[in-house]
Structure 1
């Protein structure tokens, strides 16, 4: 099954990977600017998000993305990834370093990260709400937890819509559906990387971002003091400028 995706533009390939709170629509504000900057831009919905249904078997998101790139004839791409999408990007970069030219990781997850009590408590609260059938409550928990104070109400509404869609798809998943993980070697990651974190985010993601320059070569960390967990939605223009600046250094277009 091919993931639902959009592709536009010419030049070096970029792949936008969304967070687990959103789907590929979270990149609406960056999409045109990246195309106009001279890149071939691809964004996709992971299985169970947006327009990509869950199959009746286990799947691996990194393999799905690589399969999509193969189908598009993309041999190498820069990965721009938010939160859970960052975890997927790291897995791709570790398993297939030849396929990744650069990475931007925004409030990224990391394979093998041991969650803090705060993050565990969030997960338990979300599970409790979903088990009680309170999807609206679980949606609001996510909006309140993951968006910082700079997010406009229209952005909060968009995240509500994307998160509700993800819950609806995932709660209706056939038996046997789910993600499969693989062991990876983080020392295999070679691509230059920009790690962005939010000063108002949960400690887990700030700690991961601060670790990345010690884990990966040629990695720079910038903490955005105004940001929560989804800075590309909270101040889209500021993040777009950071993305294009980094890409011009590492994967110049034209």
Structure 2
């Protein structure tokens, strides 16, 4: 199993940042700059993202890769911050290592609490058709238009385009793979949780965030009227302060 490409910065309580499925570890640059004074921040590129390769035909589980990385780094206890697909991976990691988890922060997370609606399915179909046709640039344009809210600055929009285009290229080159998942048990996640929802996001993700707060034993909901799907790229500094406050509040 390849070691995940990652960055390990700072010292103090460990915070693990898990990127969205349209991005890589660079989406957290501003947040890391705010967290490193007082925290040790670990952020990996999952397989097929950023600088972590995805071998053709690979059989793997992203959550298992993250847990293996933390074990390799000697991390015993940690907080998890996950965005979008990274939130789904975070829920799997948290379930597998509930006794090691100190706090959970989810930003517009993917989770299996509501059924995908027609808006999301329509997006999936359009993206799939573009990828199948080999038009990865157009597929990237679609993702950026869908997942970045109107407050995103031009440099964030450009960064997301480059990250997503790289993801599509890596994953297309790998062909068919066998990604697996670890179980998720929301009832077992008793660590304090903050669930952040952008109210300009797709309706599926808004409903998912609200559903997570109802299901997680100790969760609070933070709704951002200005945010789409990726607040860390839309208002980077404001989101950094939000994440830091969530991590540092009393249990």
Three-state SS of the structure 1 residue aligned to 2:17 is strand
Which residue is equivalent to 2:41? Answer: 41
Which residue is equivalent to 1:16? Answer: 17
Three-state SS of the structure 2 residue aligned to 1:150 is coil
- Structure 2 regions of 5+ residues with no counterpart? none
Matches within 5 A, 1:107-118: 107-111=108-112, 113-118=114-119
CA contact (8 A) 1:93 1:191 kept: no
Which residue is equivalent to 1:219? Answer: 219
- Pair 1:151-2:152 in alignment: yes
Matches within 5 A, 1:32-111: 32-36=33-37, 38-55=38-55, 56-111=57-112
TM-score using structure 1 length: 0.95
Q: Distance in 1 between matches of 2:207 and 2:75?
A: 33
Q: Distance in 1 between matches of 2:28 and 2:178?
A: 25
Q: Distance in 2 between matches of 1:184 and 1:242?
A: 26
Matches within 5 A, 1:161-172: 161-172=162-173
Cα deviations by residue, 1:3-28 (Å, 9 ceiling, x for unpaired): 00000111100000000010000001
Which residue is equivalent to 2:124? Answer: 123
Three-state SS of the structure 2 residue aligned to 1:172 is helix
Cα deviations by residue, 1:195-254 (Å, 9 ceiling, x for unpaired): 001110001110111112221122100110000000011011111111111222148xxx
TM-score using structure 2 length: 0.96
Three-state SS of the structure 2 residue aligned to 1:157 is helix
- Pair 1:237-2:237 in alignment: yes
Matches within 5 A, 1:173-212: 173=174, 175=176, 177-212=177-212
- Structure 1 regions of 5+ residues with no counterpart? none
CA contact (8 A) 2:108 2:230 kept: yes
